[in-house]
Amino acid sequence: MKKFLHMLLALALMAALLTGSVFAALDRNAFSSSVRLSDATRLYSSTQLISTTDGVKAAQEHYVRYEGERDVRPIVAFGSEIYGASTINQIAKKLADDDLSIVAGINASFFDTETGIPYGLVVTDGVLRTASTDMPSVGFFSDGSAIIGSPELELRLCTPDGGETPIFYNKRLNTSNGIGLYSRDYDSMTKNKVSAYNLLLKPTGRAEWLTMSGTLELEITGIKADTASCSIPEGYFVLAIAENSIYASALDNMKSLKQGDRVTIRTSCARDWENVMYACSGSELLVENGTPCEEFTLDSEKKSASRTAIGITKDNALILYTVDQVDSSSGGMNLAELADRMAEEGCVTALNLDGGGSTSLGAVYPGYSAGATVNSPEDGSLRACANFIFLVRDTTRARAAEQLFLYPYGMQAVLPGAQVNMTVKAADGNYMAAELPGDVSYGADGGSVSEKGVLTVDDDASGYVTVYASSGGLE
């Protein structure tokens, strides 16, 4: 059922409520504020009015539209290990240590809140880091293009007797999920809570890690029985199955293997996914072939919540989307409303990511050297999550200022006579923070600005007030 979603700023909403104006009469794009984060990346903020059976609710949304460019690319990032969770700020610091500058980022996979282990798969730098049951996912290629759908990923253990068994990779072991493979991407220990039969494995072939499609040849170098948390030495893998596994034949086959035997891990996926460099899983598709989905397993009660989503438009732009549920000013969305909204933004395919208290969108505003949280987290603070999707560029040394940015950006709601603190920032051609080229001077239509950047709106002002700033020949 298609919902009609309207865009407007808080001031326009207040005026409409006070005067009884009809929402449909408002220009749905007139009150959307935006700021350019790079040559082909723009951050949008707006308020949606959503018609519901109980009336109309407001929902504050923030999203990034990335249209692809040489210097900015999408990646997936997590902390030092798969086990555990990290905040977006912690991951940003890790990326900075790798000489990557963040343009923007959102939280991504659903995860086990006890362990921080994400559901589905994760790929970074072309290496498979974790995987289990096939789930709808998003993948990114080296040229910055993206794919959303089911990777159809399979991992199989091939033993010397010719047997093949499906396995999972870097997930917590229990008595009913069969055989698991662990690497140092997971942690230095398997950290399982059930007693397990463990085989220590060392790569013997040309490959030393798993990819979306290929083989990894391993030799058994040690056996540790009745051990829940088994050490994973650097450069080694551990193959584990619960001692009380419901798969008795799989346990027997594992115990028949001996030191010196060789096994092979074979991975395969849908052909379109073979060359993804980064990937992570979500939950359900929101949009397929340009049509919003209507039925969702995760949202059977159709509850409103903070939401995070990612979509690809017909012109291959990438949409990183969040909507907040924090108080009466922002009521969140259910999945049907989210699906409609992603379709309205032109997505031909879109994927639901982890929402609720996990929902977070961060960005580095032009002229600033550090990132900021754009949305309003449901918990009041940033939640540690399993992984994040970022738009990044290689860190470069700031050059001379080439452009100025005036903050607060975009359209703001003010009253006649109000005062607003304005800030001017300079950036080079790559949007990196740069020194202001000279003293800042201000001007305003409908108000005045002091030397310190304080805007005072005229007492009789109505409509729009435009503020100007200049420094060293830049405006």
pLDDT in tens, 149-158: 999 999 999 9
3-state class of 132 per DSSP?
coil
- Determine which helix (DSSP H) or strand (DSSP E) holds 96, and give its type and residue range: helix 88-97
- What pLDDT, on the 0 to 100 scale, is given for residue 404? 95
Spatial separation of the C-alpha atoms in residues 198 and 242, rounded to whole Å: 9
Q: List 7's β-bridge partners, or say none.
A: 48
Spatial separation of the C-alpha atoms in residues 185 and 162, rounded to whole Å: 28
Residues in the chain: 475
pLDDT band at 368 (very low <50, low <70, confident <90, very high): very high
Q: pLDDT tens for residues 198-236? A: 999 999 988 899 999 999 999 999 999 999 999 999 999
- What pLDDT, on the 0 to 100 scale, is given for residue 378? 86
Q: pLDDT tens for residues 415-440? A: 999 999 999 999 999 899 999 999 99
Kindly report the number of other CB atoms within 10 A of residue 381's CB atom: 10
Q: pLDDT tens for residues 133-175? A: 899 999 999 999 999 999 999 999 999 999 999 999 999 999 9
Spatial separation of the C-alpha atoms in residues 334 and 304, rounded to whole Å: 4
- Determine which helix (DSSP H) or strand (DSSP E) holds 347, and give its type and residue range: strand 347-353
